[in-house]
Structure 1
Amino acid sequence: MLRSLTVSLCQRAQPLICLTSRYCSSIPAENKLTVNALYNLSVDVSKIRKLKAWVLHHHPAYVMETAALLRDLGASRPVVARVLELHPEAILCRPEHLEAQKELWMSVCASQRDLVGIIEKFPASFFTSPCHLDSQRANVIFFQSLGLNKRIVAKLMASAPQSFSRSVKQNQEMIKTLQKTYLELGGNETSLKVWLQKLLSQNPYMLMKPPEALQNNLMFLQDRGFTSIELLQLLSKLKGFVTEVQPESMGLSLGYSQKILGCTETELRQIVLKCPALLYYSVPILADRFEGLLSAGISLQQIMGTPTVMELTTQIVQYRIQKLRTHGYDIRTGSLDVLSGTKKDFEISFGKLYPRRERPLFNPVAPLRTDE
């Protein structure tokens, strides 16, 4: 018979509960105190049994203490229940650790209300292991020393908690690489902090990448003829794509796009500057989107003029073209600017082309209501 594996959580060995008789002859009984406490908080225990049943078998558990901390922060009863359903491991964290977490998070949150909002969306970021607390504190101090505002630091902690759980030295290396690269490409000290804030807020997971990934990708783009100014422009597109892709995949995507468009290297670089998505979309995705546009009667020349249309999925393109067509707009001869952009951008452009008529205050055709 296989021995039960263990994982650590909140400085305690956490047994993985065997849920089938294949490896275990019996299943440990649920902690009745835990189950009853969760029921009293209106938590849907069936959800926990389905996804994380092992939590219900653990001794000790701190259900009421965890709920009390959330209520003290201002969380409503439904929010408390929702958090415990989504992340039941929270009840295994010792109260003293949760108090330490509360103190740490309040150093970067503007209010307790903001913290409750973060916990509701990212419970795993708040209910972490105590062994990460020192690293979290060190990283908070480091990012604040960069001049980043509290909102940005809180967003980083919430959306990329792994970057705060690891050594601060690793984050320092990546930040130094970003700063050095920005300045070497022609950026100035005055705008460095704002640029860094935007970059990290758009892609916090950039911190988890090795600095070499950024350097290798920039070297690849330099070899393709991009100037320092153009590289800085790409780096400032705020999506952090320069660490999410690899030279090999970029080479394939660029080669495919150039072949389809039949453009020169110089023309291709200008298209990429308008639509960096061409760098990180895979060849199958590019093929599907080119085919969708061309089958709708859109020309390659139109795509080259408004390459941002490539950021839209084929389904979205088809929907927007159909909506425009029903109002007599021929996308084959018109501008693609009305087609591209976010949903909001499209609705604004559509509204300018076809403004809604205001409803008259009085309709002379409508029958008058009279008292019988």
Structure 2
Amino acid sequence: MALKGLIRVTGLCVYHMKYTSVVTSNRALATTVSCRYSCTKLPAEIQQQSQENMTLVSNLEIMGVDITMARMRQPGVLKRMITHEESLAKFLLSKGASKQTIANIVSRYPRAITRTHEHLHKKWEIWQSILKTDSDILKIVERSPESFFRSENIENLEENIIFLSSLGLTPKDLSRLLAKAPRTFSNRTELNKQIVDFLKDVYLCLGGETPQDFVRHIISKNIFLLIRSTKRLKANIDFLQSALQLTDRELLVFIQGHGAEILDLCHNYIKKNFANAQQKLLSIGCSEAEITRCIISCPSMLYLSHLNFVTKIDILVEAGINSHQILERPRVLDVSVDTIKGRIKDLADIDYDYQALGISILELSKSRFEARFKKLRDSK
């Protein structure tokens, strides 16, 4: 019984065993038992922390890094014996980052501390050839640390820049790609080439004659295409052609225009939102043909969640706006719910007549709306 009790104690308390003196005649046996049970009885978190480089953890804590977050994101980094947290901090400080910014970057992407000063300097130079200023680069690094620190392959980065430039993308296009879809540059060059080849094949199959121009044009329209799978893009293109009943020629015109904006969306999301939008618009008296034309002219409505879409339609209808007016000015659905509500309230105060004056006022920019509203109010 005494031995069983000792096994239970050592199983639960082995983490502190080296600091505890057990006064017993069976000291040697107790040590053997504790070793045997340490792997199975230790809580996972304690086991993990016991394997970490405590000097590194201490250094990161001094820097203000959220160790809990870092441990959750990339636990293996905290076990490394060789890291470069000090040179990373010095490098980012020299580029204008604050200590808090550096702590946030490492908390969210701990692997950043594994990059050498030489690597950081070289990659920064390459990014600077596109973005020009340290502050522009720093904004991206702060927003998406993974985009800068993820890949060690400098050669791949340079190859991607050469490849994307060969497509005819301008420095402005490359800047947008780096700012909003930086993973494009850390992807394997072959992966980017696969996406480009797929887009060219789609274009040629639909009867196009200048695939290089098409690729440049569609990527400049939607910079997220290069970080999506060909499977998703194909599924979306096939669905849109079927749902909108487009000929090959019509589909080509559509995806070269506003249709390009939605090709990167999750396939199930597009299908679900299409069905929801169709159902809601039918319920307020729109025909299927009218709905199709509306979506073709303003595919961005498929970005909206079901609740968001329904709420906006209901607000407009309750204000006395009819379905045909909504279909004629579908961009009004791009305006936020709160903005629509506020504008409708303001216009109600001056007895604005939507039937006579239209609803285009609702989709104006803030400054233009205020100027137009002031003019209408003063004319009363």
Whether the TM-score (by the shorter chain) exceeds 0.5 is: yes
Distance 1:347 1:272, change over 3 A: same
Distance 1:306 1:241, change over 3 A: same
1:140 to 155, 161, 168: 161
Aligned to 1:366: none
User: Contact 2:192/2:226 (CA < 8 Å) preserved in 1?
Assistant: no
Paired with 2:102 and 2:348, the residues of 1 have a C-alpha distance of: 49
Structure 2 runs not aligned, ≥5 long = 1-10, 12-40
Paired with 1:266 and 1:209, the residues of 2 have a C-alpha distance of: 30
Residue 352 (1) aligns with residue 375 (2): no
User: Contact 2:203/2:211 (CA < 8 Å) preserved in 1?
Assistant: no
Aligned to 1:51: 69
Count matched residues: 330
Aligned to 2:217: 195
Aligned to 2:298: 275
1:312 to 314, 332, 335: 335
User: Contact 1:250/1:280 (CA < 8 Å) preserved in 2?
Assistant: yes
User: Contact 2:70/2:108 (CA < 8 Å) preserved in 1?
Assistant: no
The percentage of aligned residue pairs carrying the same residue is 23
More displaced, 63-72 or 52-61? 52-61
Distance 1:56 1:280, change over 3 A: closer
Aligned to 1:287: 310
What is the CA-CA distance between 1:100 and the residue it aligns to?
4.2
User: Contact 1:105/1:154 (CA < 8 Å) preserved in 2?
Assistant: no
1:149 to 170, 186, 189: 170
Aligned to 1:171: 192
Distance 1:186 1:296, change over 3 A: farther
Deviations 1:189-230 (A, max 9, x none): 7964762352233x35654443523541353256x1467347
Deviations 1:76-118 (A, max 9, x none): 5565455345444311333444344334434433244433333
User: Contact 2:53/2:81 (CA < 8 Å) preserved in 1?
Assistant: yes
Tell me which amino acid in the other structure corresponds to 2:70: K
Structure with larger Rg: 2
TM-score, with structure 1 as normaliser: 0.71
Aligned to 1:102: 124
What is the CA-CA distance between 1:337 and the residue it aligns to?
0.7
Tell me which amino acid in the other structure corresponds to 1:321: I
Aligned to 2:38: none
User: Contact 2:218/2:260 (CA < 8 Å) preserved in 1?
Assistant: no
Tell me which amino acid in the other structure corresponds to 1:232: V
Aligned to 1:128: 150
2:361 to 325, 328, 338: 338
Aligned to 1:9: none
Distance 1:238 1:100, change over 3 A: farther
More displaced, 289-298 or 161-170? 161-170
Distance 1:314 1:356, change over 3 A: closer
What is the CA-CA distance between 1:314 and the residue it aligns to?
3.5
Paired with 1:275 and 1:172, the residues of 2 have a C-alpha distance of: 30
SS state at 1:262 partner: coil
Residue 321 (1) aligns with residue 344 (2): yes
Aligned to 1:6: none
Higher helix share: 2
Distance 1:302 1:82, change over 3 A: same
Paired with 1:325 and 1:187, the residues of 2 have a C-alpha distance of: 52
TM-score, with structure 2 as normaliser: 0.69
Aligned-pair Cα RMSD in Å: 3.9
SS state at 2:177 partner: helix
Paired with 2:119 and 2:187, the residues of 1 have a C-alpha distance of: 18
Paired with 1:282 and 1:187, the residues of 2 have a C-alpha distance of: 37
User: Contact 1:271/1:304 (CA < 8 Å) preserved in 2?
Assistant: yes
Paired with 1:162 and 1:190, the residues of 2 have a C-alpha distance of: 22
Paired with 1:106 and 1:115, the residues of 2 have a C-alpha distance of: 7
What is the CA-CA distance between 1:185 and the residue it aligns to?
6.3
Paired with 2:98 and 2:44, the residues of 1 have a C-alpha distance of: 41
SS state at 1:297 partner: coil
Paired with 2:280 and 2:198, the residues of 1 have a C-alpha distance of: 30
Residue 259 (1) aligns with residue 277 (2): no
Distance 1:297 1:93, change over 3 A: same
Tell me which amino acid in the other structure corresponds to 1:310: L
Distance 1:73 1:150, change over 3 A: farther
